[in-house]
């Protein structure tokens, strides 16, 4: 139990005490995960639209594949991306291994099926005639699709939140493609693992608590945006 | 002579291996309201969507003002009201402005028009209400205002009053008729309600199994069915097959259709006018009772007054009765569907025969 | 396109931190090392000093000994800092490495519960292991093919016992986690002194056996040739290998830990005769 108390005081100390390294780790965690979620959304929403509203052979198969992707272990994704980013790998020339960019890529890949799958479900909730009605009022196909997305904005924001939650708390892939290098690719989750391996459990939990706080803040902002208009 | 506002030429829509719509020719004139009647699955909504450029026909073309029309050109001059209001999240006003936004109407014009149309359709007081809080009738008014605010040359309506209760439907019908008359907007309205068609439409088209069976001025179409299926749609529930018609009404009658009310069940009477039949069922239907009788294995719809006369009540199923046909109400089936010409009422011919 | 911009932006922000700003922006040097080395905290002192002195940015990746050696062999790392002589020899044999130099050493310690049920305290390492096996006293092993694990196995071999049974547990994890498990279970384990000292969980465990040539944990630095693979930063790897042997670096190593733990964690060995206690205890 005292470990927990120690952790809480540690966490507060790190946050308020102005520990530069901690701030840097927090900033990096946010930057990497928010960017990855954004990328996953920019790619996932159009795919979700295609899967939900498109008409092509094998649509349902594709949808099932994307939904299965949600259950893919992040560690496996991290491993696959590591292999591709190795110097001897197909993308070695990009020298992306052990950089935050690589972490963004890994996290984006992890979040992508989540965002796409939930978006597809969200868009299918909208009455199929809705799109037709928008076109019947003069909307181009693109604008009609956008109107459908706006109509489904509540569950779409939920998709974003799910994606963010999944990646900001992920450690296996972040460790593998990032290397947990101090000052370069260390984020809250990998820092927590490091402290655990050093036996400093209080510090590890402290990082965990900070992560919770950060994640909550982001999700709170998103939730407020989602619930705008409803009291 | 100015070409019609919109013309369909040899329009065929195929789906699932068969033709769900086949319209050799149909013209919509500016300023007129054309109704499309037909049972469920007849292809009415398909026809509407083709006219609205929401659906590309498998073959055939559409002419706008006599020139081949692209989807873009058609969409620019049409707007539609679908069966369900399908409003967006937001206020009533923002919903009414939806179409105008798509048409890139300048903001001040947009606000003017939305205010005007909300007043016109009696929903000005709801302007700031969330669209999700409206009743069925209010929502449909918003949908109408939204479509009219775009100021289309052709307004397309897909059974817009189907989901409303009778009094709301009546009000909305009246309002719509006024609006259409005032603005001179042409309209194409899908409906399965004859009374609605009669109230609103200048012209009528009847669809069955995707085929355009007949079209012409509303009054004429309503009174002269082209074939047995059209007859049923148009309210001529009693169709005499040729054999029967010829036996009762003379040679060359062909198939004859009557409304059930013109086919009265009588106790007995002169064989020449009161034809024998077998009683099957009596179904009271408000002011008139529907009586199903059987002649030579054919079931026919006849009628009897309400309250049902004592003799009829006592007659019993399977017992003989007689039916009297009111000849003025009889229609020979088989006018040419495309041109709107229909055979004149059979009544006069038979009348003549009777007198001879 | 938005995606590309987003990726670039994220890269900029994070990558810049902690690197020496040099106008020529040298390619990063990938240093493969072990988790115990990282856990000790030594790298947190050494690496910034190296970056400042040489201008080479360093990416230090802490993995198991086996993986570190493998990364060197494949050319995924430019320089390897390891303490697993057998694996290191294989790496040298493979021909892709440059030179292998002695850097420092610390020692292993046999730690265990204060109660010391097997009577290991004060004995020679091999004797202690024999006694532990005889008593079937709980023993926690790393079991992960690391340098520490290799040393442990060699001790069992010398003691002539097979370590197998309910009393012998393998965590498959790093030193820190293994120490935590041992502390939790009041068990014996073999740890390097550096990690033991810096690990809080290990406070409950006493050092029962230390000293003696058999328990030396020797670190070598191996720089990797460009033959190992495409894009090897041989120049950077060599720079690090040279720098860590300089008096300045060796001095840093020698003083590390004094302040926090009251004793130095490592003994600098650069230039010393290699003839040292890898042989029998």
Kindly list the domain boundaries of chain C, sorted by start residue.
26-106+218-268, 107-215
Q: What is the mean pLDDT of chain B?
A: 86
The set of long-range contacts for B69-75, using a CB threshold of 8 Å and a minimum separation of 24, is B69/B6, B74/B6, B75/A135, B75/A138
Q: Indicate if the alpha-carbon torsion angle B65, B67, B73, B74 is positive or negative.
A: positive
Stretch B174-182: mean pLDDT: 91
Mutation pick from C14, C39, C76, C148 vs chain A, by most beta carbons of A within 10 Å, is: C14
Closest CA to C197 of C279, C122, C258, C136: C258
Closest by CA to B116, choosing from B161, B88, B146, B137, is B146
Q: Quick: pLDDT tens for B313-335.
A: 888 888 888 888 888 888 888 65
Tokens in use for B158? 């897909």
Q: What is the DSSP string of C21-73?
A: --TT-PPPEEEEEEHHHHHHTHHHHHHHHHHHHH---EEEEEE-HHHHHHHHH
Minimum-distance CB partner of B79 among A138, A150, A229: A138
Give average pLDDT by consecutive 10-residue segment, chain A, 231 residues: 81 80 91 96 94 90 92 92 90 88 95 95 93 93 93 92 93 92 91 83 87 91 80 55
Backbone angles phi, psi at C131, to 5 degrees: -65, -40
Inter-chain contact A199–C202, Cβ cutoff 8 Å? Answer: yes
Pair of tokens at residue B233: 């749609």
What does each C-alpha distance from A152 to A120, A129, B131, C34 come to in angstroms?
10, 14, 15, 50
pLDDT at B354: 40
pLDDT for B107-151, tens place per residue? 999 999 999 999 999 899 999 999 989 998 899 999 999 999 999
Which one of A128, A129, A133 makes the best mutation probe of the B interface by having the most chain B beta carbons within 10 Å? A133
**What's the token pair of residue B269?**
């009477």
* pLDDT at residue number C230: 79
Domain spanning C26-106+218-268: which superfamily? Periplasmic binding protein-like II (3.40.190.10)
- Residue A139's pLDDT is 92
Residues forming a β-bridge with B63: B7, B68
B50, pLDDT greater than 90 = yes
From chain C, the residues in CB contact with A88 under 8 A are 74-76, 229-230
The answer to the question of residue A197 being in a domain is: yes
Do residues B126 and B134 lie in contact, with contact meaning Cβ atoms separated by under 8 Å?
yes
The domain made up of B229-355 is a member of CATH 2.40.50.140: yes
Q: What pLDDT score was predicted for residue A230?
A: 62
* Beta-carbon separation of A35 and C39 below 8 A: no
Q: Is the pLDDT of residue C263 over 90?
A: no
Burial class (CB in 10 A: 0-12, 13-18, 19+), B352: exposed
Map out the domains of chain B as residue ranges.
6-223, 229-355
Check residue C274 and give its pLDDT: 67
Instruction: List, for residues B182-208, the tens digit of each pLDDT value.
Output: 998 999 999 888 888 998 999 999 999
Q: Which residues contact A31 (CB under 8 A, 6 or more apart)?
A: A100, C10, C13, C14
* Structure confidence at residue A200 (pLDDT): 78
Strand partners for C169: C140
Q: Is residue A83 part of a domain?
A: yes
* Cross-chain CB nearest to A133 (options B86, B103, B150): B86
CA distance B102 to chain A (A): 5
Q: Concatenated DSSP letters for C129-146? A: HHHHHHHT--EEE--SS-
Nearest residue of A to residue C197, measured between CA atoms? A198
pLDDT, tens digit (0-9, with 9 covering 90-100), for B60-107: 999 999 899 888 899 999 999 998 889 998 899 999 999 999 999 999
Distance CA(C267)–CA(C189), nearest Å, equals 22
- Cα A231 from Cα B8, distance rounded (Å): 51
Tell me the C-alpha distance between A133 and B247, whole Å: 53
Alpha-carbon Rg for chain A in angstroms: 20
With contact defined as beta carbons under 8 Å apart, do B90 and B131 qualify?
A: yes
Which helix (H) or strand (E) element contains residue A215? helix A201-226
The highest-level CATH class for domain C107-215 is alpha beta
Calpha distance A108→A111 (Å, rounded)? 5
What CATH superfamily is the domain B6-223? P-loop containing nucleotide triphosphate hydrolases (3.40.50.300)
Residue A153: in which H helix or E strand, if any? helix A153-168
Amino acid C197: pLDDT: 81
Partners of B240 in the beta sheet?
Answer: B256
- The larger pLDDT score, comparing residue C261 to residue C95, is at C95
pLDDT band at C150 (very low <50, low <70, confident <90, very high): confident
Quote the tokens at residue C228.
């190992």
- The helix (run of H) or strand (run of E) holding residue B264 is strand B263-266
Per-residue pLDDT of C60-90, as tens digits, reads 999 888 889 999 998 999 999 998 888 899 8
Q: Which domain holds residue A118?
A: 2-226
Q: Rounded mean pLDDT of chain C? A: 83
DSSP-derived secondary structure letter, B231: H
In a domain, A231, yes or no: no
Given this chain, do its domains B6-223 and B229-355 carry the same CATH topology? no
How far apart, in whole angstroms, are the C-alpha atoms of residue A40 and residue A162?
A: 11
Of B43 and C40, the one with more pLDDT: B43
Helix/strand/coil for C105: strand
CA nearest A118: which of A71, A76, A178, A160?
Answer: A160
pLDDT tops 60 at residue B340:
no
- pTM score, whole prediction: 0.78
How much is the pLDDT for C8?
56
ipTM here: 0.81
3+ Cβ–Cβ pairs closer than 8 Å linking B and C: no
Does any domain span residue A117? yes
Tally of domains within chain A = 1
CATH of the domain at A133: 1.10.3720.10
pLDDT of residue C13: 46
């Amino acid at each position: 139990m005292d470990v927990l108390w120690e952790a809480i005081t540690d966490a507060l100390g790190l946050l308020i005490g102005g520990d530069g390294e901690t701030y840097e780790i927090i900033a990096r965690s946010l930057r990497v995960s928010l960017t990855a979620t954004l990328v996953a959304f920019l790619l996932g929403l159009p795919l979700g639209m295609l899967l939900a509203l498109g008409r092509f052979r094998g649509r349902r198969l594709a949808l099932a594949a994307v939904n299965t992707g949600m259950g893919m272990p992040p560690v496996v994704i991290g491993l696959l991306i590591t292999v591709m980013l190795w110097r001897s790998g197909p993308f070695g020339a990009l020298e992306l291994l052990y950089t935050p960019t690589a972490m963004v890529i890994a996290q984006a890949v992890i979040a992508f099926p989540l965002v796409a799958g939930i978006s597809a479900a969200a868009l299918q909730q909208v009455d199929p005639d809705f799109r037709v009605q928008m076109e019947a009022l003069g909307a181009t196909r693109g604008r009609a699709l956008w109107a459908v997305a706006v109509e489904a904005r509540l569950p779409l924001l939920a998709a974003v939140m799910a994606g963010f939650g999944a990646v900001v708390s992920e450690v296996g892939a972040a460790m593998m493609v990032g290397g947990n290098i101090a000052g370069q690719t260390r984020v809250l989750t990998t820092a927590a693992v490091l402290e655990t391996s050093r036996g400093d459990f209080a510090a590890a939990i402290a990082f965990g608590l900070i992560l919770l706080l950060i994640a909550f803040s982001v999700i709170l902002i998103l939730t407020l945006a989602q619930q705008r208009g409803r009291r | 002579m100015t070409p019609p506002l919109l013309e369909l030429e040899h329009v065929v829509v195929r789906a699932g291996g068969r033709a769900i719509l086949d319209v050799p020719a149909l013209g919509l004139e500016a300023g007129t309201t054309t109704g499309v009647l037909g049972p469920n699955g007849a292809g009415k909504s398909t026809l509407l969507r083709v006219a609205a450029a929401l659906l590309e026909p498998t073959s055939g073309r559409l002419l706008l003002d006599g020139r081949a029309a692209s989807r873009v050109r058609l969409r620019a001059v049409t707007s539609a009201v679908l069966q369900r209001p399908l409003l967006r999240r937001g206020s009533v006003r923002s919903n009414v402005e939806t179409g105008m936004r798509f048409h890139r109407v300048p903001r001040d014009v947009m606000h003017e028009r939305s205010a005007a149309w909300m007043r016109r359709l009696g929903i000005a007081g709801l302007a700031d209400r969330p669209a999700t809080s409206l009743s069925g009738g209010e929502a449909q008014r918003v949908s109408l205002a939204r479509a009219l605010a775009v100021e289309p040359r052709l307004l397309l309506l897909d059974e817009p009053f189907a989901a409303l209760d009778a009094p709301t439907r009546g009000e909305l019908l009246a309002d719509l008729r006024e609006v259409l008359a005032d603005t001179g907007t042409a309209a194409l309205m899908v409906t399965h309600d004859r009374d609605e068609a009669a109230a609103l439409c200048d012209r009528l088209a009847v669809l069955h199994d995707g085929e355009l069976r007949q079209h012409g001025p509303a009054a004429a179409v309503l009174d002269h069915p082209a074939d047995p299926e059209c007859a049923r749609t148009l309210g001529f529930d009693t169709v005499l097959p040729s054999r029967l018609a010829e036996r009762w009404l003379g040679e060359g009658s062909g198939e004859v259709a009557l409304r059930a009310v013109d086919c009265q069940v009588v106790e007995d009477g002169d064989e020449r006018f009161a034809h024998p039949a077998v009683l099957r069922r009596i179904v009271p239907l408000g002011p008139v009772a529907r009586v199903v009788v059987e002649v030579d294995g054919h079931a026919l719809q006849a009628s009897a007054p309400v309250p049902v006369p004592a003799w009829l009540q006592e007659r019993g199923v399977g017992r003989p009765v007689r039916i009297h046909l009111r000849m003025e109400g009889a229609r020979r089936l088989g006018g040419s569907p495309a041109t709107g010409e229909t055979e004149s009422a059979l009544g006069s011919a038979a009348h003549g025969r009777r007198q001879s | 396109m938005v995606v590309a911009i987003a990726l670039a932006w994220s890269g900029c922000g994070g990558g810049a931190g902690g690197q020496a700003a040099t106008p020529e922006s040298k390619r990063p040097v990938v240093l493969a090392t072990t988790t115990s080395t990282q856990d000790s905290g030594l790298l947190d002192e050494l690496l910034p000093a190296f970056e400042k002195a040489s201008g080479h940015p360093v990416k230090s990746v802490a993995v198991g000994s086996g993986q570190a050696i493998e990364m060197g062999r494949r050319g995924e790392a430019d320089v390897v800092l390891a303490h697993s002589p057998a694996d290191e020899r294989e790496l040298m044999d493979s021909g892709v490495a440059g030179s292998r130099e002695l850097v420092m050493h610390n020692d292993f310690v046999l730690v265990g519960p204060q109660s010391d049920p097997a009577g290991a305290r004060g004995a020679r390492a091999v004797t202690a292991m024999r006694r532990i096996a005889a008593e079937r006293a709980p023993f926690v092993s790393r079991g992960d093919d690391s340098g520490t694990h290799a040393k442990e196995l060699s001790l069992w071999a010398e003691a002539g016992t097979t370590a197998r049974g309910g009393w012998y547990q393998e965590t498959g994890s790093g030193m820190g986690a293994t120490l935590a498990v041992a502390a939790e279970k009041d068990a014996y384990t073999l740890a390097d002194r550096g990690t033991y000292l810096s690990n809080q969980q290990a406070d409950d465990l006493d050092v029962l056996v230390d000293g003696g040539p058999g328990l030396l944990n020797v670190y070598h630095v191996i720089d990797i040739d460009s033959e190992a693979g495409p894009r090897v930063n041989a120049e950077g790897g060599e720079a690090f290998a040279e720098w860590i042997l300089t008096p300045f670096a060796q001095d840093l190593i020698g003083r590390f830990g004094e302040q926090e733990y009251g004793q130095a964690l490592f003994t600098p060995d650069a230039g010393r005769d290699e003839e040292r206690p890898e042989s029998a205890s």
